[in-house]
Every structure is written in C-alpha cells, then in structure tokens.
Structure 1
Amino acid sequence: MRKAPGQITGRWRRGLHWAYGWFAGYGHRPLWTLAWMGGVWLLCSLLFLAGAHYNYIGPSTPLLNSPTLAPAIDKACGHAGQPGLQKWTECSEVPAEYSTFQPFVYSLDLVLPLVDLQQDSDWAPIVEDPPGTDLLFGVILRWAMWFEILFGWVASLTLVAVLGRLVDKD
C-alpha cells in the first residue's frame, strides 16, 4: 500500500491525532484551544514575572548600548546575581520613553502570533552574565519564550482551521 503525497502516516499520524483530540476535542470543542492558550499564557507570565524579580529579564535594544547611555546604565543596572545594582526592569537610568516591562503583556505578545505589543522587541531573557557564563534560569526563560511562540502559532492555526471547518471532525 502506497502513501499518498503529503499524507502523514504511522506514529506521526497517531501522535498528531492524539494531540488534536487533547487540543481541540477533535474539532467538537474549539474553545479548548483557547483554554490551552490561556493556561500557557498564565504559566509563562508567572515564569517571566519571576524572571523579572530575579533580574533575568533585560532590554534587547542596541539603543541602550550607545556611547552616551551605556556608561551610566552599566553603573546602575546589573545582570542576575550582581549585588548592589538595580534590576533592569526597574533601572532609573533606562530612558523614560523605553517601554516598561510587563510580564503578562510580554507573555501575551509571545503567544499571539499576529499581535505586536512591543514587549518582545524591547525585552528578552538574560542568558549569560558579563564574563560570559551561562545563567541557567535565563536559558530556561529563553526556552519558555521559544515554546510560547511556537505554541501560539500552532494553537492559532488549529483554532482557525477548526473554526473555519478546514479540519474534519473525528
């Protein structure tokens, strides 16, 4: 028996079918997809809130590395574990026009693929300290960020497919 072009077979097919059942109730419960998105959003928001609290979230724009801003910012703002320095998310030397880090909005910006709330372009997990040593919690935050982006795309496409009747039920 030959496989039709573009047809998924074997373990992949069973795995995707099982995931589709969990994710959207085989097309009968599309709101489950929204519930999954809400759960992932909330869990990741709390993870990013902890990251901000322990100073593992920092600005991602090169503007803050400009010769006029960098010296003052480097003296005031520190990376995770640097005693006596302000957290990046609360640093007084960051220009006022720079967006304030909001973990729940940041997470929403990641999980909604076509929405740009400017949080993910301004803030990112800090994955290494100034000497170049990897920071485990920062790496975990980066993986969570990547997972949330991919999950948001898969969930959104599944929801559109189910609501648009592109996927047969059962």
Structure 2
Amino acid sequence: MTNISMSPFTNEIERTDPPREFTMPHFILYKRDEDPDRHLKHYCSTMILYRNNDALMCKIFATTLQGEAQDWFHTLLPQSIRSFNELSFVFTKEYSSNRSIKRTSNHLFSIVKDHWETIRDYVKRFKAEKAKIVGCNEDIPTTAFKNGLPTEHPLFGKLIMREELTLANLYALAKKHVLWDEAKQSNKN
C-alpha cells in the first residue's frame, strides 16, 4: 500500500473516494512524446461529468500517464498538488516542448503545388494543413489554394473564373479534375 504522505497529492485528495456510480472511462494514455494540451482536452472531455470533483479529476488523471510520464509524476514533491488546476499546470509545463505548433491561416499561402505533385496529392496535403488551423475564415484557404497552383495548370483557369467559390466547391472542382485526369490517363493506356 502506498504511503499517503509520499503521494504528490494532498492527504485530502488521497482520502477522497470516487462516487459510487463512477465507472472508469477509456482514456488514451500519455507517453511523454505527445502534445500535453491535446491529452488534457481529451481527458477533460472524457471526464466532463466529473469535472466538479477535483480530487477525482486528479487521481484519475494520474492513471492516464504511462512510461516516463508516469515516472515523472512520481518525482513530484509529496503533497505538492492541491488541485487539478495545479496538476494541469505542472503537467503542461513539464511537457511544453511537445506542444503542437499552432498555425495561422497565413500559413496556407506557403503551400504550393510542386511541379511533380498530382492534384490529388496537393489537395490532400492542403486539407491536412488547413485542418491544423482553428477558426479559419473560408475565403483565406480558397484564395491560398488557388495561389498555390501554377497559373498554367488547367484547374487554375477554372478556379480563377469563379467569383463566389466556397472551399467545398473548390474541392469538388479539384476532384472532378482528378477524375478527368485519371480517365484521360487510362484511355492512353
């Protein structure tokens, strides 16, 4: 049995039992080399029904740590954690170097179709980069996508002629172009 006084949690947290109706949710374990903010968001959304039970939030969070992250947790000073906010703070501070780089919508203007790249691959790469941007105005990715195409590309001409082009319409036109290219290639063979 673990000595309560050696726990990073205060005695009050250690002595708190989970509610009778509590069943352990399934968590993605944190292994030290991932974004700590993403792990905390997943944890908090999974524990949303219990977010007002600070002791439970602390104790269950400790079970989501694996490997070196679990080792780190046990290096915390005894009785140094008094709340889930404190635990979240020391956790994110410890693993801040693993945070994902937040991108702005201006990043999309740096995505340019390579001359050897197919439209399918360009769309896939563009969509992946756009997905990393939260709250992006739709006009920016539409313009950035067009700007990333070479002016001599047939799709560029089709896109530039459209005045009110939504991102969904842009992707649909790109898909039609991909299908047309693939049909043209299969006819050659």
TM above 0.5, one fold?
Answer: no
Q: State TM-score, norm by structure 1.
A: 0.24
Q: State TM-score, norm by structure 2.
A: 0.22
Which is greater in Rg?
Answer: 2
